[in-house]
Chains A and B, each alone.
Chain A
Amino acid sequence: DIQMTQSPAFLSASLGETVSIECLASEDIYSYLAWYQQKPGKSPQLLIYAANRLQDGVPSRFSGSGSGTQYLLKISGMQPEDEGDYFCLQGSKWLTLGSGTKLEIK
């Protein structure tokens, strides 16, 4: 099974700061990667798919990059509404989710 190692587990950022979250796959996942945001009590929302494609309606400050085994989610200019949990999903071989990153405002 493909393992997804997500880091950091916790992140604190100031408003306007650029933050990055990483997911590292145990083998090549050929960009079959999606990123999600989840706020307390809410269902997860899709942000990025195919490693770097922005889902309709998602603000352009969110971006994804990476290839092979290493993938990044970047938020360019932290906003108050960006607080929440973020996780990745690989779909190259079966389905594996990252362990999650809790993002808070400093």
Chain B
Amino acid sequence: EVQLVESGGGVVQPGGSLKLSCLASGFSFSNYGMNWIRRAPGKGLEWVASISSSSTYIYYGDTVKGRFTISRDNGKNTLYLQMTSLKSEDTALYYCAKTLSYYFDYWGQGVMVSVSS
């Protein structure tokens, strides 16, 4: 059974940093691209970042480019999202999701990030 478990969320002040993790199991992690997607309170879903299976290709949404860094450790079956220069508008539930072709076939339960002074 595919499982994706996010962790590392919390409350952080504007301008601060936070690192999210997503522990994967139930599939061969090193063979698949991975993604971060978020949903701000009362808003729709927003794609944040994607990384290919061997980290060769990395892409970011415009709103996080230059501030967030996606990475992965295939030996630990773990996906990361390093978030810096956080803004109030980054407050959201962050999901990790597994790539299949151009879409996501499995998602985690999400982890909450709140940016507030």
The main secondary structure of chain A at its interface with chain B is loop
Among A12-20, A42-50, A62-70, A71-79, the stretch that binds chain B is A42-50
User: A43 and B109: CB pair below 8 A?
Assistant: yes
A43 and B110: CB pair below 8 A?
Answer: yes
A46 to B4, CA, bound (A): 15
Hey, which chain A residues are within 8 Å of B50, CB to CB?
Answer: 95
Chain A-chain B contacts (Cβ-Cβ < 8 Å), number: 51
- Assuming the contacts A43-B95, A43-B109, A94-B59, asked whether A100 and B45 have C-beta atoms less than 8 A apart, the reply is yes
Known contacts A43-B108, A95-B50; A89 and B103 CB within 8 A of each other: yes
Which single residue of chain A is at the shortest CB-CB distance from B44? A99
Q: Interface SS of chain B: helix, strand, loop or mixed?
A: strand
Instruction: Verify if B12 is at the interface (C-beta below 8 Å from A).
Output: no
Q: How large is the interface on A (under 10, 10 to 19, 20 to 34, 35 or more residues)?
A: 20 to 34
**Can you identify 30 A-B contacts, CB atoms within 8 angstroms?**
A32-B102, A32-B103, A34-B103, A34-B104, A42-B109, A43-B4, A43-B107, A43-B108, A43-B110, A44-B107, A46-B104, A46-B106, A49-B100, A49-B105, A89-B103, A89-B104, A91-B101, A91-B102, A91-B103, A92-B102, A94-B61, A95-B35, A95-B47, A95-B102, A96-B47, A97-B37, A97-B46, A99-B44, A100-B44, A100-B45
Given A34-B104, A43-B107, 18 additional A-B pairs, CB 8 A: A1-B62, A43-B4, A45-B107, A46-B103, A46-B104, A46-B106, A49-B100, A49-B101, A49-B105, A89-B103, A91-B101, A91-B103, A92-B102, A95-B47, A96-B47, A97-B44, A97-B46, A97-B47
